[in-house]
A = this chain, B = another copy of it.
Amino acid sequence: MLWNRRMSLKLMLVKHEDALLGMQLNFGIGCVAVNSYMKISVERERVANDPKSIMPAAFVSFKTRWGAAVCAQTQQSRNPTLWLTEWAPEPRDVYWHNLAIPFVSLTVRRLIIAVAFFFLTFFYMIPIAFVQSLASIEGIEKAVPFLRPIIEKKFIKSLIQGFLPGIVLKIFLIVLPTILMLMSKFEGFISISSLERRSASRYYLFNFVNVFLGSIITGSALEQLNTFMKQSPNQIPRTIGVAIPMKATFFISYIMVDGWAGIAAEILMLKPLIIFHLKNFFLVKTEKDREEAMDPGSIGFNTGEPRIQLYFLLGLVYAVVTPVLLPFIIVFFCLAYVVFRHQIINVYNQEYESGAAFWPDVHGRIIGALIISQLLLMGLLSTKQAAQSTPFLIALPILTISFHYYCKGRFEPAFIRYPLQEAKMKDTLERAREPHLNLKGYLQTAYIHPVFKSAEDDEEEEIHGKWEHDAELVPTKRQSRRNTPLPSKFSGSSSPSLPEVVEERGQP
């Protein structure tokens, strides 16, 4: 079921032990579900009755959109760290482990992760160089002397010397998104979508420092940091700006090797294919197992999006300096559009819908890329014959920044708030059209911890099966609909009548 906007507006996450009581006091409404976090699903009964396993966090549903909008946007208690109200993510999007982290702990975690990310970006070469030194011929011979006769053979020796150091770095770069995701999880975000958003912006920063800057000023990020700390601030754009035209050919080949080939690999889906065949060979016993093995998972926003944005940055930077790079970028974007459109419609099972919550991040990075390209252009021009007129270019970044602030004020509230005018209008409309609408049936089972759900799985499957026979919005060749069944009637423009709602009860 696509995420149902109407539901989301009526649900909110409240963190506090007295949350339920307070909600009733302030809004005169009842609560729907307090979910316990359990480790052993066998002891479900015992744990459910144990007060220690009750989380100090609750999903609260409201009778009206207006009430939910008010509660999400206001401060509830005198101490702003005790009661926190947020819009609830959609049920599939909830990251259950982080629901009950208190405010002070969140502040400390954010600090720790900020410091850790700084070290990861600028000092990641140190452990890798250490491992690389171990993985050399001498290192291996010291560690496992009995392998010496094999290693000393000419073919294997050249293989180790040629590939091993590169492979260590490559393995790190493959593991990097997972590390960043773990960091985001430690930071305490409560929805998978916000975890991916934060990981994406970290991955973009890492790529910006280590791929973009790292290629222009050859050397590791640590050396760059050293260079920048010792250089004067107005010298930095000049140093980079002058190096940019010289690196154009490198980036053209980078776009072809990493960009075009990456898109081709995306459509090949080699990794899921291998995993499927391995699973098919060793694990699959029933038809249901096979369908589970076929599941390609959801599209990786935390790696795909920042990579595309890096090409956008390259395009902006080189648009004025070396326009010959632009056709390569355009080909990349055309390929990416065709391939990702196909993949999203026909292949991936999206885990959640977050209602375009990714866009403000993307917009911010585009603005950042614009400012970077303007600064580097200024640095480059100041070394050419246009040096006298360069200071006038300073108007560009200032105007860009003020445009960013304007957009922040004008459009960002649409992503984080919900205007009372609209809430009231929709409430009134709904009351007039369907005075007997009752969503309690749906809400009772919507926000239940996955542990409690296993028993209902089979029923769900049946319902899913039924959906597949209905009309489809976009014709798709997708094999499995485990996570993304067709859009529910809830999200359509016409509201369902009471019997339909009750029928859909129990669906996640």
**A107 touches B (CB below 8 Å):** yes
- Which A residues between 54 and 82 are near B, CB-CB below 8 angstroms? 69-70, 73-81
- Which A residues between 76 and 91 are near B, CB-CB below 8 angstroms? 76-81, 83
CB of A120, distance to nearest CB on chain B (Å): 16
Structural contact, B229 and A232, CB atoms closer than 8 A: yes
List of B residues within 8 angstroms of A410 by Cβ: 79-81, 103
CB of A118, distance to nearest CB on chain B (Å): 10
**A25 touches B (CB below 8 Å):** yes
Structural contact, B234 and A232, CB atoms closer than 8 A: no
A418 to B76, CA, bound (A): 8
CB of A392, distance to nearest CB on chain B (Å): 14
List of B residues within 8 angstroms of A406 by Cβ: 104, 107
CB of A236, distance to nearest CB on chain B (Å): 9
A101 to B29, CA, bound (A): 40
Q: Of B104, B233, B420, which contacts A26 at CB under 8 A? A: B420
A77 to B424, CA, bound (A): 11
Structural contact, B70 and A74, CB atoms closer than 8 A: yes
CB of A101, distance to nearest CB on chain B (Å): 14
- Which A residues between 209 and 249 are near B, CB-CB below 8 angstroms? 228-235
**A409 touches B (CB below 8 Å):** yes
A398 to B421, CA, bound (A): 42
**A111 touches B (CB below 8 Å):** yes
Q: Of B107, B230, B414, which contacts A232 at CB under 8 A? A: B230
Copies per complex? 2
List of B residues within 8 angstroms of A74 by Cβ: 69-70, 73-74, 417, 419-420
**A413 touches B (CB below 8 Å):** yes
Main secondary structure of the interface of A (DSSP, over half): helix
**A405 touches B (CB below 8 Å):** yes
Structural contact, A421 and B26, CB atoms closer than 8 A: yes
With contacts A80-B410, A406-B104 taken as known, whether A424 is within 8 angstroms of B234 at the C-beta atoms is no
Q: Of B76, B414, B419, which contacts A420 at CB under 8 A? A: B76
Please name the residue on chain B nearest to A226 by beta carbon: B234
Structural contact, B73 and A419, CB atoms closer than 8 A: no
CB of A301, distance to nearest CB on chain B (Å): 27
Q: Of B79, B107, B233, B419, which contacts A76 at CB under 8 A? A: B419
A235 to B234, CA, bound (A): 14
A133 to B26, CA, bound (A): 69
A409 to B228, CA, bound (A): 33
Structural contact, B115 and A75, CB atoms closer than 8 A: no
**A434 touches B (CB below 8 Å):** no
Interface flags for A416-441 (1: CB within 8 Å of B; 0: not) read: 01111110100000000000000000
**A22 touches B (CB below 8 Å):** yes
Please name the residue on chain B nearest to A399 by beta carbon: B111
A256 to B492, CA, bound (A): 75
List of B residues within 8 angstroms of A405 by Cβ: 107, 110-111
Please name the residue on chain B nearest to A69 by beta carbon: B74
Structural contact, A419 and B78, CB atoms closer than 8 A: yes
Structural contact, B70 and A424, CB atoms closer than 8 A: no
**A493 touches B (CB below 8 Å):** no
Structural contact, A111 and B398, CB atoms closer than 8 A: yes
Please name the residue on chain B nearest to A428 by beta carbon: B25
A368 to B22, CA, bound (A): 38
Please name the residue on chain B nearest to A418 by beta carbon: B75
A25 to B83, CA, bound (A): 29
A402 to B73, CA, bound (A): 25
Q: Of B76, B78, B80, B115, which contacts A398 at CB under 8 A? A: B115
Name 9 A/B residue pairs within 8 A (Cβ), A-sorted.
A26-B421, A26-B424, A70-B70, A74-B420, A80-B409, A80-B413, A81-B410, A107-B402, A228-B233
The 8 closest A-B pairs by CB, nearest first: A80-B413, A111-B402, A229-B234, A73-B74, A75-B417, A230-B232, A75-B419, A77-B421
